[in-house]
Amino acid sequence: MPHILLTGGAGYIGSHTYVALVEAGFGVTILDDFSNSDASVVDRLSRLTGADVDVVEGTVLDRALLTRLFAEKAIDGVVHFAAKKAVGESVARPLDYFETNIGGLTTLTQAMRAAEVWRLVFSSTATVYGEPEVFPLTEDMPLSHTSPYAFTKVTCERILEQAARADPWVLGVLRYFNPVGAHGSALIGEDPRGVPENLMPYVAKVATGEMSELRVFGDDYDTPDGTCLRDYIHVMDLADAHVKSLQALLDGRAHRLNIGTGNPVSVLELHGAYQDVVGRELPYRIAPRRAGDVPKLYADPSRARSELGFEAQRDLEEMCRSSWNWVQARMTGWTFNS
């Protein structure tokens, strides 16, 4: 049974990927500093999988810890989630992003190289495409950055490209579009601290009453309803893509892929779908555009289908429903099925 190290495995995408990997028969160790995740997720992962969770508290910036981890555990591959990911925050604190995202990758890969662990899935993002003009987005399109966060992801991809010329790395670079939703059990989901930056968790807080209304950042874009288009993908589909990515790496098949649905959805369409699930009006108002937003981002998902046999299965309604179920369960403290 291959054993995988998930850096940032207690986070939103990491925790869902943990469940999918365990269910696919992998052994998994989580490394997380809990800077952007709640330690209670570990108990809920244990409830979900029916087994203890092997978790190590620490940061990928700690080379000595990583060296010990690779010496103590027979690790066959790594999925590297641990990074800072808030675009707005990266503009305010770029050095923190360079240190954690770029320094974290170089520290991790140096420790992997020393242990001769060469299989790595790297968590990248659609924002490496900058402000594209042609759609849908394919993997060979040029990269650019519109924020320090995007700069770190473009730089990390370029670092990995060059590292693979010098050593026998087997790399899976996955460019996520917009992950949303939650596991069907409602035991894990997106749990942003404070006021959410991202659309669906903000709509969820309007639905619970924590926020009074949704601000739609601009309705004067060149799109069918004037609001921005994004490629929202259910987080469990994204988790499944990681399982397939690791299976490909274990077969020696490297790849660099968009992970999306290929279906562009507008801000107002997502708001409407969430409102339908909740069953009552969720107030919103049109607000000024948000700096840094691009009008459209959606994938051509065909290469993931041909190279991994991956295709997103869950639709927008399931994305909204699973999010709403999770948000309600978290408010009740998961008293159901206790």
Instruction: Kindly list the residues in this chain that would bind ligand WQD in the complex (CB under 6 A).
Output: 85, 87, 125, 127, 176, 178, 197-199, 202, 214-217, 228, 230, 267, 290, 293
Given 12, 149, 202, 232, the catalytic residue? 149
Active-site residue flag, 149: yes
In the bound complex, what is the minimum distance in angstroms from residue 267's beta carbon to ligand WQD?
Answer: 5
In the bound complex, what is the minimum distance in angstroms from residue 247's beta carbon to ligand WQD?
Answer: 23
Helix (H, G, I), strand (E, B) or coil at 277: helix
Q: How far apart are CA 154 and CA 210, in angstroms?
A: 35
Secondary structure (DSSP) of 145-168: -SSHHHHHHHHHHHHHHHHHHHS-
Q: What crossing angle do the helices spanning 104-114 and 148-166 adopt, rounded to 10°? A: 20
Assess contact for 77 and 243: CB atoms under 8 A.
no
Residue sitting closest to ligand WQD (CB): 228
Nearer to ligand WQD, 69 or 241 (CB): 241
Nearer to ligand WQD, 205 or 305 (CB): 205
In the bound complex, what is the minimum distance in angstroms from residue 67's beta carbon to ligand WQD?
Answer: 28
Nearest of 8, 7, 12 to residue 190 by alpha carbon: 12
In the bound complex, what is the minimum distance in angstroms from residue 37's beta carbon to ligand WQD?
Answer: 15
Burial status of residue 242 (CB atoms within 10 A of its CB: 0-12, 13-18, 19 or more): buried
Nearer to ligand WQD, 37 or 127 (CB): 127
Nearer to ligand WQD, 4 or 235 (CB): 235
Secondary structure (DSSP) of 4-47: EEEETTTSHHHHHHHHHHHHTT-EEEEEE--SSS-THHHHHHHH
Q: How far apart are CA 238 and CA 310, in angstroms?
A: 10
- Residues involved in catalysis: 149
